[in-house]
Amino acid sequence: MSDSMEPNLRKTLDRRLEAENVALLKHLLSMELKRLKDEAGCDMIFLMGVDGRTFSSVIPRDLNAKQFYMLNLLKANMQHICGQLRRENLRIAIEQYKEGTVVIAGVGDNAFMTLEFSRPIVPADFQNIVSTSMKGSTVMKHILELKPINEDILNKYPKDVADELRKLSRLLFVERFEQTKQYKKNMEILQFIKDKLKDVVGVGAVDEIITLTFNEIGTSAPYMTDQLWRMFLEKAIQKHVKAMSGEIMADECYRAWMPELDKKLRSFM
């Protein structure tokens, strides 16, 4: 990510990323399943095709006896569920068993979600579970169809669906951005400056100086450029180190740290 792109990036912190390849698609599906699992309060959640394939799932690492029973129950009924979905345009079904509850929500014509609860669902929980499942099925259908996430399309959805898609696209942007070379470089430069400050002002004052200096230049670490890092370090030394440790120490830090910073910045080129 070049320095010339930086101002635009900082102005668009809520920018969206779309599922441009299979890896991003799978990641989006996984993120949404995890969010739905937490929102619905279920033990396990699956996104499956009507041919029995599992597209994505969230399952506890260690299953207790009831969870294991419900998982085997789903496997045993899979052929019946898939047959029912192929024959009928099922929207949602709730099946209660002694050991727990299974919620099945259709996702378009070729996929469905199952939410597994290792407990009976009481009537007071029905509304939240049904509304969460229906929202989730619409979001999943949007993702599987590889539709873009833009306001023209979002405005056609109910508010809860549109909001969920916006949240997912923001999360995707943040996670993908944190894998870029620019982000990793900035985190390393930040740690370099923290280490320098710690030796002069002490551990307790480092975070205060970092926060104040970022506020003064009007940005944050992930979106820094080489020029901004030089400005940042100069401000941190001339204003905050000088106030805490005196003018002589500040001058020594400036003469030693600024060339070291330049050398470190050049090492990333």
Q: Is the pLDDT confidence value at 8 over 80?
A: no
Task: Supply angle C-alpha 245, 195, 203, rounded to 5.
Answer: 60
167 CB-contact burial (10 Å; exposed 0-12 / middle 13-18 / buried 19+)? middle
More confident residue, 104 or 170: 104
- CA torsion, points 29, 32, 37, 40, in degrees to nearest 10? -130
Rg (CA), the chain: 26
- CA torsion, points 16, 156, 142, 116, in degrees to nearest 10? 110
d(CA 201, CA 85) in angstroms, rounded, equals: 66
Q: Is the pLDDT confidence value at 172 over 70?
A: yes
| Helix boundaries (H) for the chain | 6-11, 22-40, 65-87, 123-144, 151-154, 159-177, 181-201, 203-217, 226-235, 242-245, 247-266
Question: What share of the chain has pLDDT > 70, as a percent?
Answer: 90
Rounded mean pLDDT, 66-78 = 90
- 57 — pLDDT class (breaks 50, 70, 90): very high
Question: What share of the chain has pLDDT > 90, as a percent?
Answer: 48
0.85 surpassed by pTM: no
Name residue, tokens 């799978």.
26
Q: Residue 58's beta-bridge partner residues?
A: 45
Give the pLDDT confidence of 127-142 residue by residue, as tens digits.
889 999 999 999 999 9
Rounded mean pLDDT, 15-19 = 42
3-class DSSP state of 77: helix
d(CA 183, CA 224) in angstroms, rounded, equals: 9
